[in-house]
Structure 1
Amino acid sequence: MGSGAGSSTNGGTGGGTEGGHDTRARQVAGSLAHRVPDLGAMELLLAVARLGSLGGAARELGITQPAASSRIRSMERQLGVALVDRSPRGSRLTDAGALVTDWARRIVEAAEAFDAGAQALRDRRDSRLRVAASMTIAEYLLPGWLVALRAQLPDTAVSLLAGNSAAVAERLLADDADLGFVEGVSVPTGLDSAVIGHDRLIVVTAPGHPWARRRRPLEAAELAATPLILREKGSGTRQVLDAALGGLARPLIELSSTTAVKAAAVGGAGPSVLSELAVGEELTTRRLVSVPVADVVLARDLRAVWPTGHRPTGPARQLLSLTRA
């Protein structure tokens, strides 16, 4: 019992000492900005030392001489020592000013190195853009956006990874993409999003299919019970259709791209449900026929997505702005 109590007391004392050190460290760190001049003031002092003139230093830095004088006086008050002797013949550093100038030179050089490093990071970030997009957006919308981005950022290399909405989410969460685009009914877990547009799904068949000659709209229940040519599970189109109809019959054919689904429908394999964006040409040329549905609206949002808390920057932000233009 006595030993246990002693251990507890020692632990408490040690914790208190460490806590005291931490508190003092925080106090020092917190007050450092108030006790050390800012970079602008240091650059001004270095210019005065180099040019021997407060007015010349002010002109070099693009400020007025009264503003430069005020900044030097503020710096002197902050440090508690005189830094510059002013006379009609110019400005001369005091002994303390010469010492402070030497320290300031090291800090400014370190700041320049910091700035160069940060610029190198930005250059590396801006040199590439990795985009992941679900199939409809990748095939029918992204090409135009990327052409516009190329005009603005000709030196940025862009790679596009196309897949279903689930695959887009996986790539973003694994840091294999900088920005994604999906078409599903909800935002995948772990991602933030912004709606960039809207789309409508329509039922289509080849002209020879019985549905192409219907005089009345198709009932939602009949659509749900009919085997269709569909995208694979995980695709935005499949998610929207399944949610709208409350379930689907076993697919007639299951394919992994919008283009493949469309080709099968044009070939007469059976009816399908596709994005209105994907079938405009086929409807115009009557290779496909749109079949009205009576009591269901197959609409969906098109979304840009990115990992939660990591809003797009650099080229990804630029591309996002283009999608909204």
Structure 2
Amino acid sequence: MDREPDVAALRALALIAERGSISAASSELRLSQQAVSLRVRSLEHEIGVPLLVRSARGSQLTAAGELVIGWARPLLDAATEFGAAVQDLRAGREGSLRIAASLTIAEHLLPGWIARWRGLQGPSGATATLTAANSSAVIAALRSGEVDLGFVETPELPSGLTAATVGRDRIEVVVAASHPWAGRTVSPAELAATPMVHRERGSGTRLAFEQALAAAGHPLEVEPAAVHDTTLGARSAVMAGVAPGALSVLAVRDDIRGGRLARVAVSGLEITRPLTALWRGSDPTAAAQALLDEALRPVEPTA
């Protein structure tokens, strides 16, 4: 190459390799598929060798592409750190902390963490702004520099971001108190063959549930009975008797205690997932580290 490497094109290539397709990478980069494809083709032209094998089933790196991404990884990590430092400089990060969190953490854990964090800082300390979204959207917001700190529940963690586990969560299968499954034990096979209330794709709750069933040898076989993009919507649908649902114990424990929902045991299957903090660069900002100190207190979700 006669000029400096195109970091944007290398990042696009890395995301295609990670996500398995140009369409998935374009969605995360918030660019058109054509724009992402042009970046990669320009990189291939500059280097002089094919980097991707494109097909109707997706895109995979060639052997040369694997080498290029391996060489590019330190450069991409350094670019991410540089971007985070510039964001800190531009926004005066001492006075604000932008947080994005997936819904279960945003609704049930972050309010307490932020309250303790603010109490330790006093009235002149940093302020926090919180965006609640599913895990995929939180990761995209971190990559784009829209937020300083993210919290996700997905078992699949992204590359290029620093991660710290802050606790673990348990997914419970629950039904309305009047449902025939209330008080029963069902098998993974029966669960996989039953239409259920689910969160939307991109949700850590849904991904953890699907992966646990697949690992038990019983991948989901049927379409959902209903799909909701909020925990509250999914919980309400289950409570109304639409179908069984799989939700965080943090979201349903009060309803189980109050008799509004009933837990369903699944023989030989316990579904857990990590609760993870994410940030750009090697070290979080001072304000983010102070909040992390609160989040890193042990989390023991019990019903």
Q: Smaller-chain TM-score range?
A: 0.5 to 0.7
Q: Which runs of 5+ in 1 are unaligned?
A: 1-119
Is residue 2:198 matched to residue 1:230? yes
Is residue 2:104 matched to residue 1:170? no
* 3-state SS of 1:234 partner: coil
Call closer, same or farther: CA 1:210–1:276 in 2, change over 3 Å: same
Q: Is the 8 A contact 1:230 1:273 kept in 2?
A: yes
Looking at structure 1, the residues matched to 162 and 130 of structure 2 have their Cα atoms a distance apart, in angstroms, of 20
Looking at structure 2, the residues matched to 209 and 218 of structure 1 have their Cα atoms a distance apart, in angstroms, of 13
Is residue 2:286 matched to residue 1:314? yes
Looking at structure 2, the residues matched to 122 and 190 of structure 1 have their Cα atoms a distance apart, in angstroms, of 22
Counterparts of 1:141-180 in structure 2 under 5 Å? 141-153=109-121, 154=123, 155-180=125-150
Looking at structure 2, the residues matched to 228 and 303 of structure 1 have their Cα atoms a distance apart, in angstroms, of 26
Q: Is the 8 A contact 2:113 2:294 kept in 1?
A: yes
Identify the match of residue 300 of structure 1 among 270, 273, 292.
Answer: 273
Q: Which runs of 5+ in 2 are unaligned?
A: 1-87, 298-303
Q: Is the 8 A contact 2:168 2:272 kept in 1?
A: yes
Offset of residue 264 of structure 1 = 1.0
TM-score (norm 2): 0.64
Identify the match of residue 195 of structure 1 among 155, 158, 165.
Answer: 165
* 3-state SS of 1:186 partner: coil
Q: Is the 8 A contact 2:183 2:262 kept in 1?
A: no
Looking at structure 2, the residues matched to 123 and 159 of structure 1 have their Cα atoms a distance apart, in angstroms, of 13
Looking at structure 2, the residues matched to 226 and 189 of structure 1 have their Cα atoms a distance apart, in angstroms, of 34
Is residue 2:278 matched to residue 1:274? no
Offset of residue 297 of structure 1 = 1.7
Structure possessing the higher radius of gyration over alpha carbons: 1
Is residue 2:162 matched to residue 1:184? no
Offset of residue 311 of structure 1 = 1.9
Offset of residue 121 of structure 1 = 5.1
Q: Is the 8 A contact 2:182 2:263 kept in 1?
A: yes
Q: Is the 8 A contact 1:166 1:188 kept in 2?
A: no
Q: Is the 8 A contact 1:185 1:240 kept in 2?
A: yes
Call closer, same or farther: CA 1:324–1:271 in 2, change over 3 Å: same
Looking at structure 1, the residues matched to 286 and 254 of structure 2 have their Cα atoms a distance apart, in angstroms, of 35
Call closer, same or farther: CA 1:290–1:213 in 2, change over 3 Å: closer
Offset of residue 320 of structure 1 = 0.7
Offset of residue 259 of structure 1 = 1.1
Residue number in structure 2 paired with 1:10: none
Counterparts of 1:100-115 in structure 2 under 5 Å? none
Q: Is the 8 A contact 1:132 1:168 kept in 2?
A: yes
* Structure number having the greater helix percentage: 1
Offset of residue 310 of structure 1 = 3.6
Q: Which runs of 4+ in 1 moved over 6 A?
A: none
TM-score (norm 1): 0.60
* 3-state SS of 1:264 partner: helix
Counterparts of 1:1-325 in structure 2 under 5 Å? 124-153=92-121, 154=123, 155-214=125-184, 217-246=185-214, 247-248=219-220, 249-307=222-280, 309-325=281-297
Q: Is the 8 A contact 1:182 1:304 kept in 2?
A: yes
1:54-100 deviation digits (Å, cap 9, x = unpaired): xxxxxxxxxxxxxxxxxxxxxxxxxxxxxxxxxxxxxxxxxxxxxxx
Offset of residue 304 of structure 1 = 0.5
Looking at structure 1, the residues matched to 261 and 162 of structure 2 have their Cα atoms a distance apart, in angstroms, of 36
Residue number in structure 2 paired with 1:20: none
Q: Is the 8 A contact 1:183 1:236 kept in 2?
A: yes
Offset of residue 220 of structure 1 = 0.6
Taking only aligned residues, the RMSD between alpha carbons, in angstroms, comes to 1.7
Offset of residue 162 of structure 1 = 0.6
Q: Is the 8 A contact 1:282 1:288 kept in 2?
A: yes
